[in-house]
Structure 1
Amino acid sequence: MNPYDLIPRFRAQYDTNNQEFSISGVVRPQSIDELAPSLTLLKESIARVRGILYVNIRRLTQMNNTAFHAFSRVIIDACRTRPDLKFVVITSSVVGWTTRKFGRLHGLEPNITVEEYDSQFYPGQSFLEEGGFIPILRTQTKMTWRHERKILPRHGMQPGIVMADICCGIGDFAVLVQKEFQPARIVALDHSRSSLDYARSVAADFDIRGIEYTYGDASEMLLEEDQFDLVTCRHSLQIFNRPELILKELFRICRPGGRVYITNEKNSHCLGEPRADSIQWTYNEVAKLFKHFEMDVELGPKSRRYLIEAGFEDIRVESFMVTNGDGDPQDFADVITAWENVYAGDMAVRRGDDPEMIERFRQGFQDHIFAALHPKGYAGWPIWVASGRKPS
């Protein structure tokens, strides 16, 4: 037997304010006696609760049958002796077996329900993760990389570091970082299975090694704390309805003295000439549209405040403008075309916009494309970069 197997690798605790009993880690006891303190805590929690007891297992990575039956027995017995009490078991889709396994308890006791914490956490993900959007994501990264490769060293990037790219999407940024800066290790995490499937296929096709693509919830990551020299999260806080939760996790996994690097936009500052008025109107509407779906594409200039409130120090903020002069103007036009198809397409329809509104909305994107391709035109898309150091 491995002596390490005898060391408790799980944690149980009770939060009085939230009436929440939580258990996390690896729970694989050889006998029920090993669970005695945790089971006692659960029973004490039940005795103190009125109404609903939340059982949080979002960070429960493994649990054998001995543990499952022991905890389940306590909960089921409580339902039968206290019919006034309800239990809500909170799972995560990242650890899918928990939803399936604990879901059986509802069939035994109707006062036990199971909720997947992250099932509604990403209100805009479905708009952006479809396979048809992948080519444009690659084009966007190609255009921003021209700037970021020069900016990154000012925000903690250097060869040999251990880094995490959270909300990595289709993984192209991690690939570019690996080629340019050669970190010792990259963990690339995302909540979109289709994006990760694409990233892994590209890595296999081009024999790219050293990047660990991982499925996970950025607001509740199954990654150890204090382990990464640099944590990046690009164009992502702006599509979460609670970015402060993501930043809390980025802070947690960053090592003391390491840095967290974020990029976000202020879409209403997209510009173009000629036809500036039409373009400006449309991007003001983009900001309103995203707000309707609980996303904030105006977050860029707010980055400093978010980082300070998350506990970071030595905040560094700068911005750059992606333009039709960065490489092929057609690339810029292709990005805007994709935006039009998503924003003035599915998103506007779901918001309930009438045909006249959608037509005007589309016109601004068309005018931005016109400006990008005009021989004398100018089209711009601004990006805010910010980083903060985790205190030592």
Structure 2
Amino acid sequence: MTANSSSPVFTTQFDASNQEFVATGVFRPRSIADIADELLLLRDKIETVQGVFYVNLKRVTHMNSTAFRALARVLVDASRSRPELKIVVVASSVVTWATQMFRHLSELSPNISMEIYDSAFYPGQTFVENQSFIPILRTQTKMTWRHEREILPRHGLRNGMVIADICCGIGDFVMLVRREFNPARIVALDHSAASLDYARSVAEEFCVRDIEYTYGDASQMLFEGDQFDFVTCRHSLQIFDRPELLLRELYRICKPGGRVYITNEKNSHCLGEPRADSIQWTYNEVARLFRYFDMDVEMGPKSSRLLLDTGFEDVRIESFMVTNLDGDPQEFADVIQAWEDVYAGEMSVRRGDSPEFIERFRQGFKDHIFAALHPRGYAGWPIWAASGQKPL
């Protein structure tokens, strides 16, 4: 069933095998009359099921108060007329206020519950959304861009393409791609409202009007399939606990014959000299720490297998080492300091590590900084870049 108004199209359907009412798109009716058919479908199907009834709002990107009140009324009425039925509303954190409001329904009716399906996919999101981390993200991109501007053409990026940067973060990489490769169209999507706000503000400062910034969930994108020539997703698979979901979406939105480009790290291979042993110990512990939070910062060398498993062909993979010799060594040191603050100051504390462990953990970062700034020192951060072609 499809509804049309002055707002973009939204659709609803019922999946009998899963006892699931599914809504997709922008849910902004001007009045309840605009969604009368959808509400009727919802009421009718609730009457036909036993056990658990799912209301799937995963791919609803916007919802106004009219839609929320109408849905809430149907659900509350059904919960009272059928107290034996469990009703589960499944939504994405993309529509923040709606998820908060739906949670309140459980206070009205104990047989209604709310699930935020994507929260587990982004276990590292809160660690990098702090505004103080933004300068470091920009510095990291500046350091990696020295390498990637030469790497990207080897993976198929050319002028005039239609490009999507998925998990774009603060938008610094997509700005560089725009300047260097002059795309016909460029879209940037991220799950963090704070990061996108920053990206849009920077674009405004530089009078950039042609980057389409989009708020959304990378594992359930609303983009049509087969529409981008080149899709990038950098340093993001490693912070998903189910990267295969994201890879399938990257594959879906890429045109046949187009390419998907990913970068990921292998943190245990970070190195430095002098004080190599302390540095090695700390980055081995970083890898263990991320695994505790269901993230994999050892993913870099696995990229080829992941792309092939998703169905890509002509897979290309290479690695590069960002070092203190690439530019200003202080930039490298600043990045390491930020890692110490987040990994030892937040993540290790949240895991419940002892003060003795955290002190040793911090020391390894300090030794890495020492190596980066030492006049005869060397410090490195390895990254794997990989790409695959979607079959024609």
Are positions 1:172 and 2:172 aligned together? Answer: yes
Q: 1:128 and 2:136 equivalent?
A: no
- Alignment TM-score, normalising by the size of structure 2: 0.89
**1:304 matched to 2:304:** yes
What letter corresponds to residue 335 of structure 2 in structure 1?
A: V
> What SS is found at the alignment partner of 1:141?
helix
Q: Number of residues paired by the alignment?
A: 388
Question: Which deviations, in whole Å up to 9, do the C-alpha atoms of 1:16-74 show, x marking residues without a partner?
Answer: 2x443322135659997987599558735752432x22110121346788977776666
* CA RMSD, 1 decimal: 2.8
* 1:62–1:240 CA distance, 2 compared to 1 (3 A): closer
Cα 1:30–1:324, aligned 2, differ >3 Å: closer, same or farther?
closer
Q: Which 5+ residue runs of structure 2 have no aligned equivalent? A: none
Deviation at 1:13, TM superposition (A): 3.5
Matched-pair identity in %: 68
2:166/2:190 contact within 8 Å kept = yes
State the Cα distance separating 1:280 from its structure 2 match: 0.7
Aligned residue runs from structure 1 range 275-294, under 5 A? 275-294=275-294
SS at match of 2:375: coil
Unaligned runs of 5+ in 1: none
Q: Paired residue for 1:23?
A: 23
> 1:131-184 CA deviation, whole Å, 9 max, x = no partner?
111111111111100110011112231111111111111111011001100111
Question: Which whole-Å CA distance do the structure 1 matches of 2:39 and 2:244 have between them?
Answer: 30
Corresponding residue for 1:218?
Answer: 218
* Partners of 2:4 and 2:340 in 1: CA distance: 55
Q: Secondary structure at the match of 1:298?
A: coil
CA shift at 1:265, angstroms? 0.2
Aligned-partner Cα distance in 2 for 1:176–1:33: 43
* 2:171/2:199 contact within 8 Å kept: yes
Give the CA deviation at 1:98. Answer: 3.9
* Mapped pair 1:375 → 2:378: no
Listed one character per residue, the Cα deviations across residues 215-237 of structure 1 (whole Å, up to 9, x for unaligned) are: 22212223222221111110111
Matched, 1:207 2:207: yes
Question: Shift of residue 391 of structure 1?
Answer: 2.2
Q: Report the Cα offset of residue 109 of structure 1.
A: 3.5
SS in 1 for 2:356: helix
Q: C-alpha offsets along residues 238-288 of structure 1, whole Å, 9 cap, x if unaligned?
A: 112221121122122222222111100000011112221111111000001
Q: Structure 2: which amino acid aligns with 1:217?
A: D
- TM-score between both structures, scaled by the size of structure 1: 0.89
CA contact under 8 A between 2:57 and 2:89: conserved in structure 1? yes
Moved more, 6-15 or 355-364: 6-15
Instruction: List aligned pairs for 1:41-80, cutoff 5 A.
Output: 43-44=44-45, 47-50=48-51, 52-61=52-61, 75-76=75-76, 78-80=78-80
Whether the 8 Å contact between 1:14 and 1:45 is mirrored in structure 2 is: no
Return 137-146 or 39-48, whichever deviates more.
39-48
Cα pair distance change 1:95/1:376, threshold 3 Å: same
Q: Which residue pairs with 2:242 in the alignment? A: 242
339-348 or 102-111: bigger deviation? 102-111
- The aligned counterpart of 1:14 is 15
The farther-off stretch of 143-152 and 55-64 is: 55-64
Instruction: Indicate the residue corresponding to 2:91 in structure 1.
Output: 91
CA distance 1:129–1:97, change in 2 (3 Å) = closer
Task: Measure the CA separation in 2 of the matches of 1:110 and 1:363.
Answer: 50
**Which stretch shows the higher mean deviation, 269-278 or 6-15?**
6-15
Pair 179,63 (structure 1): closer, same or farther in 2 beyond 3 Å: closer
